Structure 1
């Protein structure tokens, strides 16, 4: 039995882990910013020491991609420095650590799914701060610890693309959605299950990086079309180019992640994106 700290517990992934945690025989400590400021190095040390934490699952992140362009200090504090502090205490106390990162560490110019060893080159403040967090963890190198890069996260909890499309699908007759950004959604519940299942099996001297998303290939336009179809909403979805919807932060045009490594090492299967979307919509009571 482990004493497991889950940071970012009120976010999409943290909320899913919280809901699933009763199925696993561990002691869980769920914290969000109010309970523990992970960008405060001393607070992190005191919390981990006083609660005898031996596993950290870091779901906390500054994920407001566009806002981060003008809020670099806060993005850096959470996505980089906090990861550094958690990694340092993890190494010092022999605490195992699972840190969740992002496809935004890549520039999105690949033409085949990214493997973990591909060159990184983020093109946004969010992506750069997330990469800085990864690099800090890799440099400090706590034993039995991993980084999981994921993409396009959605859930029945929190604000996300699926919920936005459901809302707009009820409010509007039609809308435009970007078709020239390609990747795969990740149902946070699927990722939460994988994290809880593989946690006891992690055994590595050096920090390992793994990719995880659902299976399949699609654009945001395809995703929106399927949400409308499954929810039986009459809203017409029109494909638009990225240049027609300018945002402060640049997004990767290609975010496909190769999941072969995590599937092989931990002997897992990954659900197809449509099956997971169906499950999420049913949970939300929106599957018609």
Structure 2
């Protein structure tokens, strides 16, 4: 892949010009300097931690992405037990997880619309905002909620005699929802924090890894074969509450970005490191 980070491209261009004109004093603003160990520690550890506890957008995105992604790991315990209860043999009780892949593939459809909308805005010379690219998120949250209600409503103990294909259809929606939430919100973080998005992703990755590691332990405890339908419905209820978040971002996302000092600073640095401004 071709290098695309503006500060990296500028560094290469400055190095090339310096060789052509050894006497020239060429300087530029770098978004990622590492002059000493203290700066390295600040960039790698302190900055991501500070962002993780002070940036509302990052906190919301990390929570949603971690919980939705962790549901897949939760399924590592609940899926097999559910299909064993429906009569599938243990050797094939985990195969319905493949339905998640079908949902992931369906997720390409909202992005076709996104691409068309972006091209139309570019054609009209309109500014493209990060909120213009989260249509998949608006589809993903209700898909995840509907898929979880569907799955937990058609598997034991809610239903004992359903054909195994019935809850598997719900897993298609879960796959669509989980992928769209994770994929779209990752792009939203990149557009919000631009050249410093790696610091945002550090916090996101930490929270997502932590929740994903805990989920199988929770699944083992609550889906032990003797539970009521309540645990699954609680999980579906939490996913249902996620459905309001896309509309919060559509309505308030721009204001949150402008009020965030770090998001504003990221955009400023991003503009100062554009090659077109040299």
The TM-score with structure 2 as length reference comes to 0.28
Structure with the larger helix share: 2
Structure with the larger strand share: 1
Greater RCO (Cα-Cα under 8 Å, separation 6 or more): 2
